[in-house]
Amino acid sequence: MSEWQPIKMAPKDGTEVLGWREDCGIILMRYTAPIDFLTDAELEELDEESAEAYDWFAADFIEGCRMEGSETPTLWRPMPEPPK
């Protein structure tokens, strides 16, 4: 599968995929919870409910971000195969 699919069809097992939103284009993302990737020090700044809440998260060059509500990507596709 290499074509863009509706976001509701995207894997929710932590697999990195490409997402798309009209306002920002292509996004590297995965469905996960902060407790799975933040350090203990970073988790101390969150309440337990927020730390364990699963959602779409994007990665960028500075920091990641939670994408929820209207920020949720509308499309997704698997990561391309690496060059050989």
Mean pLDDT by 10 residues, the chain (84 residues): 88 94 91 91 92 90 78 93 89
Measure Cα distances from 59 to 19, 63, 67, 84 in Å: 11, 6, 11, 25
What are 47's two structure tokens?
């309440």
Q: Where are the domains of the chain?
A: 5-78
According to the model, what pLDDT value does residue 62 have?
65
Cα 32 off chain centre by: 7
Q: Which amino acid is at 14?
A: G
Task: Spell out the long-range contacts of 11-14 with Cβ–Cβ below 8 A and sequence spacing 24 or more.
Answer: 12/54
